[in-house]
Structures are given as C-alpha cells and as structure tokens.
C-alpha cells in the first residue's frame, strides 16, 4: 500500500507545489475516470443496458454525456491554469536556461489538455510525472507497492530476454567474422593483445607463482615421495635395467644405486622447476610462452598455426560468454 511520508512533506521546501501536485493528482484521477466512463457509455449496447436495468442512472447521466466536452473543458481550464502558473514560476526562478524551454520539456502537460479523444489519455503521463516527482522528494515510496514490483519484475524480465538475445547475436556475429578472417581478428591480435603482452605475461606469472606457492610448497614432501615411487616403478618395468642384477657380485648394488640416483634426479629437477614457478624468476619463462602465442604484427613465420590457436582461444572465450548470457536471472526470482 502506498504511504505518504508526512515528515518529508512538512520539511520539504516545495510544500506548496507538492500540495498542488496532490490536488492535481486527485483531479486527474477523477478526470480520467470520467473520460473512461463516458467512453464506455458511448457504446450503444451499454446505453441500452442502462436503459433497461438502471433507467434512473441513465436518465441522470445522459445530459452529462451530451455535454461531455463542456465538463471536460472545466478540467482542462484548471490544468491549463496550473500549467501556466508553473511556467511562470520556472521563468522567475530560472529553472531552465531559456524561458520557452518549459512547454517543450513538459509537452505532455500541454498536449494532454487538447480536448480530442486520442490526446486526452496523454493525461496519464501527467499522473506518472506527478507520482515520479513525489517519489523523488521521498513523499511517497512507489517501490514499496505491489503494482510497481509486478510491473518492474516483468519489465526487467523483458529487458533481460531482449538484451540477452541481442548480445548472443552480436557474439555469434563476431565468431563468424573471426572465422572468415575478418580484420577484427588482426586488430585484436595486433592492436590489443600484442601491445599488452608484457602486462599479460606479468599477470600470468603472478597467477602461476601464487598457484605454485599455495599448491606445491605445502605439499612438496608428499609430492617428492610420490615422484620417487613412480620413478622406482618405471625403472622396475625397464627390461635393460633389470638385466644389471645378473652381473656377478655388483649387479644388484649397481641396479639399486641407479634406481636411487635416477629417482633423486627426477624428483630434484621437478622440485626445482616448481620452485622456480613459485618465485618471481618465472617471469622470463612465462614471457617466452606469451610471445610464442602472440606474435608481432610483422612476424609471418608460423602465423597460420598461431592464428588458429588464438582463434580457437577467442572462440572458447566467446562461447563461455554466450553460455553466461543464456542464464536467466529473472527466473531465479520466481517463487
């Protein structure tokens, strides 16, 4: 239910104009009800129905219907008077830069006063403008009403559906253009990615270092044991190495020493690689990888393979974006 904040109404510096707004709002509601009622009465079937069942009401209203324009002009006179008073106030208070701006900005107030059937209903816009003005001054809170929530929900749902379809169509068009070898792809590669390769390398370097620090360093002991076990298992399956044990006297010793040495070397190498990745020294390595994928504008060496890889990457990113666009947020708000 719409509630009036009397505290804000009293403390407002626009108290007189807000009171006029309430009066105009009441008159507009009465006038619109009068217009709608007379439009319904204008149907012959409705008039005959009233003659049969409510002849007294029909006889009382018929003179008003015949002089509808006169009664409507009484309302119009009040609306025009209020319109010119507000126009004069805006000129005096210099609300707008030019004195003649007011009727153009509030065109719906002027056009709605024209006593023509199709234009009378523009007075609804005047109702909306008054309600909006009262809401701006926090005299009323439109958002607390059920009607507003109902209309806003379906408006947001409609806009989301519309915008999702447009975005999906645009993204599909971009994919199609890239596949055809559009200049857009070259622009992305040469003007967007290539000038920012240092930034990309730095960002990837930080992410790799963070991932290595969080995942590897706390578990390096477990990882080393696992690597040694896997290397031992692989060496046991090696036929050539298993033949060493048949050497007289020292065969078994040599085999065990080789297994331990190889296992220790592999574990140390992998451990050193992961430690390097977890430190700031990984930047050069990551930068080389980025430079391999993002070639310079004049580089034509393996451009075809690089372009295909980059096109595939861009397409996957766009597909992920299209998948996110297809998510209907408004459905999550349904009970």
Closest CA to 130 of 83, 76, 89: 83
Q: Which tokens sit at 278?
A: 């977890």
Q: Where exactly are the structural domains of the chain?
A: 6-144, 174-332
Place of tokens 């050069």: 284
Strand partners, 140: 4
Cα angle: 25, vertex 28, 34; to 5 degrees: 145
pLDDT tens-digit readout, 268-294: 777 776 666 666 666 666 676 666 666
Average pLDDT for the chain: 76
Which pLDDT score, from 0 to 100, does residue 303 have?
53
Which pLDDT score, from 0 to 100, does residue 220 have?
67
Q: Which tokens sit at 285?
A: 């390595």
pLDDT greater than 60 at residue 302: no
Contacts within 8 Å (CB) and 24+ apart, 111-118: 112/79, 113/76, 113/79, 113/80, 113/83, 115/69, 115/72, 115/73, 115/76, 117/39
pTM for this prediction: 0.49
pLDDT tens-digit readout, 233-248: 766 666 565 665 555 6
Highest-pLDDT range among 52-66, 205-219, 222-236, 282-296: 52-66
Q: Answer whether 120's CB lies under 8 Å from 293's CB.
A: no
C-alpha span between 82 and 75 (Å, rounded):
11
What is the torsion angle, in degrees rounded to the nearest 10, for the CA atoms of residue 281, residue 285, residue 286 and residue 287?
Answer: 100
Strand partners, 4: 140
| Angle subtended by helix axes 44-53 and 15-41, to nearest 10 | 90
- The CA–CA distances, whole Å, from 107 to 78, 95, 290 equal 17, 16, 59
pLDDT greater than 70 at residue 265: yes
C-alpha span between 131 and 28 (Å, rounded):
12
- The CA–CA distances, whole Å, from 199 to 108, 194, 257, 291, 330 equal 54, 10, 47, 12, 37
């Amino acid at each position: 239910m719409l509630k009036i904040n009397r505290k804000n109404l009293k403390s407002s510096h626009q108290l007189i104009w807000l009171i006029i707004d309430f009066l105009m709002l009441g008159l507009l509601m009465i006038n619109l009800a009068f217009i709608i009622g007379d439009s319904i009465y204008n149907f012959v079937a409705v008039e005959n129905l009233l003659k049969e069942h409510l002849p007294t009401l029909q006889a009382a209203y018929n003179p008003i219907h015949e002089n509808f324009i006169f009664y409507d002009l009484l309302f119009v006179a009040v609306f025009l008077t209020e319109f010119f008073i507000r126009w004069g106030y805006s000129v005096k208070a210099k609300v707008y830069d030019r004195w003649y701006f007011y009727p153009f900005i509030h065109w719906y107030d002027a056009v709605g006063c024209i006593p023509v059937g199709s234009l009378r209903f523009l007075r609804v816009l005047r109702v909306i403008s008054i309600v909006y003005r009262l809401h701006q001054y926090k005299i009323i809170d439109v958002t607390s009403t059920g009607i507003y929530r109902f209309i806003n929900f379906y408006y947001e749902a409609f806009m989301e559906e519309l915008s999702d379809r447009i975005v999906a169509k645009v993204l599909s068009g971009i994919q199609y253009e890239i596949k055809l070898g559009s200049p857009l792809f070259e622009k992305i590669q040469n003007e967007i990615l290539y000038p920012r390769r240092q930034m990309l390398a730095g960002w990837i370097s930080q992410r790799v270092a963070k991932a290595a620090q969080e995942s590897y360093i706390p578990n390096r002991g477990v990882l080393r044991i696992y690597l040694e076990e896997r290397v031992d298992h692989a060496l046991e399956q090696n036929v050539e190495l298993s033949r060493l044990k048949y050497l007289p006297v020292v065969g078994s010793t040599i085999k065990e020493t080789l297994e331990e040495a190889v296992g220790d070397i592999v574990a140390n190498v992998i451990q050193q690689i992961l430690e390097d990745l977890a430190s700031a020294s990984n930047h050069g390595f990551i930068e080389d990888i980025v430079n391999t994928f993002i070639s310079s504008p004049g580089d034509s060496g393996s451009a075809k393979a690089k372009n295909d890889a980059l096109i595939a990457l861009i397409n996957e990113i766009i597909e992920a974006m299209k998948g996110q666009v297809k998510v209907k947020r408004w459905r999550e708000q349904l009970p």
